[in-house]
Amino acid sequence: MAAIVFWLSFGIAAYVYAGYPLVLLAWKRLAARPVCKAPIEPTVTLVIAMHNESRNVAVKMQNCFELNYPADKLQIIVSLDAPTDGTDSLVREYAPQGVDVLSTTIRRGKASAINRAVAFARGEIIVFADARQRFHPNAVRELVANFADECVGAVSGQLVLLDSEGREASNTLGMYWRYEKKIRGLESDIHSVPGTTGAIYALRRELFAPIRPRTVLDDVQIPMRAVLKGKRVLFDPAAIAYDEVAKEANVEYEKKRRTLMGNYELLVEMPELLLPWRNPIFLQLFSHKVGRLLVPYCLIALFVSNLFLLHGYYLLIFVCQVTWYLLAFTGWLLATRRMQDMAAPTTSFQGVEKDL
């Protein structure tokens, strides 16, 4: 029994992180579906939902004005979700330059802000953006070019994580993100990506239907509806947005927890996604999204079942597992120490003094 649990857990975890990318690679070689990109210029509405973003408003708006897209075909809507830090007045300064500002006095969440904005949108294509990330000047043009293909319902851009020196991040989080983007690229080449990047994605306006207020992952629910309507959701690495990588994994942990919480919500809200005859990318969704939710429980089962199998090569695997978790624990201790150092400037100063 322990051996069955052991190998089943091992199999699922190995499939999700290694087997699935290999399946995608083979699938792409056999049945890639190219997209007919063309330099079209439909009307576009750029939707930016904001809560308390006073620090980012000036840079973001400047970034929007620098986009390489005809101004008469680009509507910019900033949908404010009851900000309390002066974001409201800062954004209103851009109203004379053609920015539409929607504002509420009661906080209802990002999903509600998006619903309000799309109701006012005039563009044939809606581009969704966050306040913090900057777009490459050609980002909108690149996103929109994919809609020349009638099969395309939504397109995700590429989020590039930069380190403090402005280079693409090379730390573990940067590596993890690059691995994630490779998988998205393969999924896109075959059919569709099960979800987009919230900081940069576009959708045909007619495919939008208001999402439930307090939805956590609008960037997954909105495109998955397009997939259920028979359209493709692409990942286009040429449409780029930039963000700073988190220096500490703990920060990324908070984001990841929110994302994974949203995945549970997605499966409850859209159970049809788990029906292979309804969802054309069932395998991708199951392997990419559901698999990531299952892996931690598989790892626990792997460890516990290994305790009952301490002989032969199982013993070696057990030693590897214990070593892995000890290293993880040491990494956690070091990260906690770094955070304490950052939180206590006097300690850091003493350190500098000692170095001098």
5/101 with CB nearer other proteins: 101
Structure tokens at 28: 């792409």
Tell me the backbone φ, ψ of residue 18, rounded to 5 degrees.
-125, -45
Judged by CB under 8 A, does residue 43 bind other proteins? no
- x/- map, 159-188, other proteins, by CB under 8 A: ------------xxx--x------------
Judged by CB under 8 A, the number of residues near other proteins is: 48
Segment near other proteins (CB under 8 A), from 49-57, 67-75, 229-237, 249-257?
249-257
33/292 with CB nearer other proteins: 292
Is the separation of the CB atoms in 46 and 77 below 8 Å? Answer: yes
Segment near other proteins (CB under 8 A), from 130-138, 139-147, 186-194, 259-267?
259-267
Amino acid code (one letter) for 222: I
Is the separation of the CB atoms in 205 and 121 below 8 Å? Answer: yes
Distance in angstroms (rounded) separating the CA atoms of residues 161 and 309: 42
CB contact set of 94 (below 8 Å; sequence gap of 6+): 61, 78, 101
Judged by CB under 8 A, does residue 124 bind other proteins? no
Q: Which of 106, 316, 343, 356 binds other proteins (CB under 8 A)?
A: 106
The torsion region of residue 82 among left (phi > 0), alpha (psi -120 to 50) and beta comes to left
Judged by CB under 8 A, does residue 213 bind other proteins? yes
Amino acid code (one letter) for 32: A
Owner of token pair 């590596």: 175
Distance in angstroms (rounded) separating the CA atoms of residues 240 and 36: 19
Q: What is the largest CA-CA distance in the chain?
A: 74
Judged by CB under 8 A, does residue 52 bind other proteins? no
- Closest approach of other proteins to the CB of residue 225, in Å: 20
207/246 with CB nearer other proteins: 246
Judged by CB under 8 A, does residue 65 bind other proteins? no
Give the side-chain half-sphere CA count within 13 A for 204: 22
Alpha helices per DSSP H over 83-149: 87-92, 110-120, 139-145
Distance in angstroms (rounded) separating the CA atoms of residues 128 and 76: 10
Judged by CB under 8 A, does residue 320 bind other proteins? no
Judged by CB under 8 A, does residue 263 bind other proteins? yes
24/91 with CB nearer other proteins: 91
Q: Which of 256, 280, 317, 318 binds other proteins (CB under 8 A)?
A: 256
Judged by CB under 8 A, does residue 337 bind other proteins? no
Tell me the backbone φ, ψ of residue 331, rounded to 5 degrees.
-60, -40
- Closest approach of other proteins to the CB of residue 352, in Å: 18
Summarize as ranges the residues that interact with other proteins (CB under 8 A). 82, 92, 95, 100-106, 108, 112, 116, 120, 171-173, 176, 213-214, 249-250, 252-253, 256-261, 263-265, 292-293, 295-297, 299, 324-325, 327-328, 330-332, 334-335
